[in-house]
């Protein structure tokens, strides 16, 4: 049930006969479509829409009316989208922001001052601490929190809550990452649709030829490492080395490395895994890991869930999952 609240966080009741799409962690936005005949004045800027107990919702920041299609569309950032619009800045006189303490205490100090009471961090003690954890310079609050929590094998959990006769709030907590891949063995009779593609003969040495002529030409060598990262030291040699030349004379020297890394990433070997996650019947969340072992080939793959798109269309709910580095599945 989609709930509407005003800018003072006071609930105004359910909004029925709507189509809702929430892209939690991709575009990090939502769209709520309602027939013009059901629109009411409270469905406007700064009002909130949410589904209790979930992170499906946000604050209305855009109103689109289309008389030809006879509906009003309300749009805004998802809650993760709001976290992504705050920046962790180094304090004065320091190169980096560093923090120490219990996870929730650290999160509370970073989140709550930014959101005027709407975002509330759990006060429970996780029993997990960080010591002099260093955030990347000028990273988003969302990226910084995710990276910090992942270093402790934790993830963000968001859910909108409301106590009786009290304003609602977004409840944020750190919870352990769940690795579902250890529980799943894939076979022809498992009734799950999945694909596994392990490509190991991709390019692992890219010779980049930049601007200049002959011996004065800017040459860059990039190599894929054993762990899949890209560096400037050769790892694969002999029969295992697969080389390609990438000519790029249009990119400025300082930007050539970025363009070349992207080129090698598109050519290198990679593992692709897709699964019909919705059929697992498990409460899989962003940051959790899914995967499994194929009984026939013995192949094993696992990837974290990167995004969930939630849809409520004609009162029918559905979820589309995206794994890290893959297209939607």
Closest by CA to 5, choosing from 65, 49, 57, 56, is 49
How many other C-beta atoms are found inside a 10 Å radius of the C-beta of residue 325?
A: 13
Residue 187 has pLDDT above 60, yes or no: no
pLDDT band at 193 (very low <50, low <70, confident <90, very high): low
Helix axes 103-111, 141-150, angle to 10 degrees: 180
Task: Give the separation between CA 313 and CA 103, rounded to whole angstroms.
Answer: 37
For residue 144, give the DSSP letter: H
Task: Give the separation between CA 176 and CA 154, rounded to whole angstroms.
Answer: 4
Structure tokens at 176: 């352990």
Closest by CA to 237, choosing from 225, 220, 219, is 225
**Mean per-residue pLDDT for 90-119?**
95
Tens of pLDDT, residues 33-83:
999 888 899 999 999 999 999 999 999 999 998 888 889 999 999 999 999
**Mean per-residue pLDDT for 156-171?**
93
pLDDT for residue 64: 93
Tens of pLDDT, residues 122-131:
999 999 999 9
For residue 241, give the DSSP letter: -
Tens of pLDDT, residues 16-29:
889 999 999 999 99
More confident call, 256 vs 142: 142
To the nearest whole percent, how much of the chain has pLDDT over 90? 61
Closest by CA to 184, choosing from 270, 286, 272, 279, is 279
Residue 328 has pLDDT above 90, yes or no: no
pLDDT for residue 185: 62
Task: Give the separation between CA 34 and CA 4, rounded to whole angstroms.
Answer: 13
Pairing of strands 11-14, 168-176: unpaired
Query: pTM of the entire structure?
Result: 0.78
Closest by CA to 55, choosing from 310, 319, 225, 321, is 310
Which CB contacts under 8 angstroms, 24+ apart, belong to 40-46?
A: 42/4, 42/6, 42/12, 43/4, 43/15, 43/72, 43/74, 46/6, 46/7
Closest by CA to 273, choosing from 247, 293, 255, 258, is 293
pLDDT band at 329 (very low <50, low <70, confident <90, very high): very low
Task: Give the separation between CA 147 and CA 71, rounded to whole angstroms.
Answer: 40
């Amino acid at each position: 049930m989609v709930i509407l609240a005003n800018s003072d966080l006071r609930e105004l009741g359910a909004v029925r006969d709507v189509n809702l799409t929430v892209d939690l962690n991709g575009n990090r936005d939502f769209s709520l479509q309602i027939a013009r005949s059901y629109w009411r004045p409270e469905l406007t800027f700064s009002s909130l829409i949410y589904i209790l107990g979930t992170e499906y919702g946000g604050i209305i920041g855009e109103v689109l009316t289309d008389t030809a299609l006879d509906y009003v569309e309300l749009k805004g950032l998802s809650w993760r989208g709001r976290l992504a619009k705050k920046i962790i800045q180094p304090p004065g006189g320091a190169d980096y922001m560093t923090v120490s303490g219990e996870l929730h205490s650290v999160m509370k100090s970073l989140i709550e001052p930014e959101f005027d009471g709407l975002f509330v961090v759990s006060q429970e003690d996780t029993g997990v601490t960080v010591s002099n954890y260093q955030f990347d310079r000028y990273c988003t609050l969302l990226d910084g929190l995710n990276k910090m929590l992942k270093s402790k094998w934790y993830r963000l959990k968001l859910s909108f809550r409301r106590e009786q006769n009290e304003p609602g709030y977004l409840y944020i907590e750190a919870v352990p990452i769940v690795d579902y891949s250890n529980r799943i063995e894939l076979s022809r009779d498992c009734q799950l649709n999945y694909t596994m593609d392990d490509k190991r003969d991709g390019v692992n040495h890219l010779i980049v030829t930049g601007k200049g002529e002959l011996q004065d030409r800017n040459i860059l060598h990039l190599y894929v490492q054993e762990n899949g990262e890209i560096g400037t030291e050769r790892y694969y040699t002999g029969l295992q080395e697969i080389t390609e030349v990438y000519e790029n004379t249009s990119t400025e020297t300082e930007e050539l490395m970025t363009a070349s890394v992207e080129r090698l990433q598109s050519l290198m070997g990679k593992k692709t895994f897709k699964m019909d996650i919705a059929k697992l019947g498990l409460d899989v969340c962003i940051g959790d890991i899914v995967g499994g072992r194929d009984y026939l080939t013995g192949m094993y793959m696992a990837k974290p869930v990167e995004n969930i798109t939630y849809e409520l269309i004609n009162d029918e709910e559905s979820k589309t999952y995206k794994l890290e580095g893959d297209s939607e599945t």
